[in-house]
Amino acid sequence: MTDMIWIISKQFALIYFFIIFCGILIWAFRRKNKDRFEECRHMPLKEE
């Protein structure tokens, strides 16, 4: 019984992290975030 629970929990964890990963990709590649990422891209080169 515990082996079955272990297998199901591993599969659930894989699906859970895949959904989270896809959500992060969708959030990162939205057009709304493009301006902010462009600004952050040049941040290391800025002199204050």
pTM of the model: 0.64
Q: What is the CA radius of gyration of the chain?
A: 19
Q: Which tens digit of pLDDT belongs to each residue from 1-48?
A: 788 898 899 999 999 999 999 999 998 888 887 777 777 877 777 776
Residue 13: C-alpha distances to residues 23, 33, 38, 43 (Å): 15, 28, 33, 36
Q: Say if CB 41 and CB 47 are below 8 A apart.
A: no
Q: Which pLDDT score, from 0 to 100, does residue 45 have?
A: 74
Cα distance between residue 48 and residue 43, in whole Å? 10
Domain residue spans in the chain?
2-45
Q: Which pLDDT score, from 0 to 100, does residue 48 have?
A: 64
Amino acid at 8: I
